[in-house]
Amino acid sequence: MEFVSIDVTDGVAVLRLDRPRMNAISLQVQADLREAAAELTERDDVRAVVVWGGERVFAAGNDVKEMVDWTYSDMVKASASVSSATTAIARIPKPVVAAVNGYALGGGCELALAADLRFVAEDAVLGQPEVLLGIIPGAGGTQRLTRLVGTAKAKDIIFTGRFVKADEALRIGLADRVVPADQVLAEAVAYAGQFSNAAALAIRAAKECIDRGSEVDLDTGLEIERQQFAGVFATEDRVLGMASFVESGPGKATFVGR
C-alpha cells in the first residue's frame, strides 16, 4: 500500500492515510483502502479500527486534478473504484471509528461516513461540496449522509456544498463526539480499545443486523436479526458469556473471539 498504513496495538488498528499534502483520494488511495479493508477484515489480532488522516487533515476530497480531464466514458469505468473503496471500509465487520482532524470534505467526508462513529476535532470541517464543481457525491455521500442526518438536512448540505463545522456536525448527528484537536486520535483509540477483549462474533453479528436492517423493511430486518441471534449461539463466546453471567454477574466474562 502506497498511501495507507496499518499499525496494530492491543487489538486496535490505526489505518492511516498519508498522501501529502491534503490526503486527496486518488485511484491509488482507493486501491490502498480496499487492500487495507481486506487485511483488517481477515486479521484475528484486530478487533477494532480507527481511520485517521494525521494531525492536519483527514482527507480534503477525491483527487480533482486526476479527474479533471476524464470523460463520461472514463468515469463509467472508474466509478466502481470510487464507491467500492468507501464501501470496503464500511463492510469491515468490526467497529470502525473515524478520527477527524482538519478537513473531511467530499470523498474525505464520504470516507468518514463509512465508519460506524466519527470523533472530530473542535476545529474540524466536514462537507460535501461536489456541486460547487458541477458534480455530485459519488462514493456514498448521497446515501450514507441521508441515512445519518435525515433527508432535509442532507439535501441542504449537498445542494449548497457548504461546510459543516464541528459543533453543527455534533448537533445534527454527523459527528458523535467533539474533542480538542490534539486528543482526537487518542480518544478514538481509547474508545476502540474497549472492543479488544469483547465478543467479536457478537459485535460482527450486531453490525450486520444494523447495517443490513437499515436498508430493508422492518419484517426483513427482524428476520436478519433472528438469524444472527440464533447464529451467535454457536459461538464459544456465547457459552463463556452466559456462564460468567450466571456465576459472577454481567460484564466479567473473558472472551476468546470464537
pLDDT-based confidence at residue 67 (cuts at 50, 70, 90): confident
pLDDT-based confidence at residue 51 (cuts at 50, 70, 90): very high
Q: Dihedral sign, CA of 164, 168, 172, 175? A: positive
Rounded to whole angstroms, the Cα distance separating 92 from 76 reads: 26
Chain centre to alpha carbon of residue 11:
17
The conformation of residue 106, written as its DSSP 8-state character, comes to T
Rounded to whole angstroms, the Cα distance separating 250 from 25 reads: 44
Rounded to whole angstroms, the Cα distance separating 146 from 168 reads: 16
pLDDT at 75: 87
Locate 101 and state its grid cell.
482532524
How many CB atoms within 10 Å of residue 43? 14
Q: What is the pLDDT of residues 187-208, one digit of tens each?
A: 999 999 999 999 999 999 999 9
pLDDT-based confidence at residue 251 (cuts at 50, 70, 90): confident
Q: For the residues 120-141, what does the mean pLDDT come to? A: 95
Locate 180 and state its grid cell.
480538542
Structural domains present in the chain: 4-193 (3.90.226.10), 200-248 (1.10.12.10)
The conformation of residue 176, written as its DSSP 8-state character, comes to S
Q: What is the pLDDT of residues 80-96, one digit of tens each?
A: 888 899 999 999 999 99
Which residue, 155, 151, 153, 106, is CA-closest to 132? 106
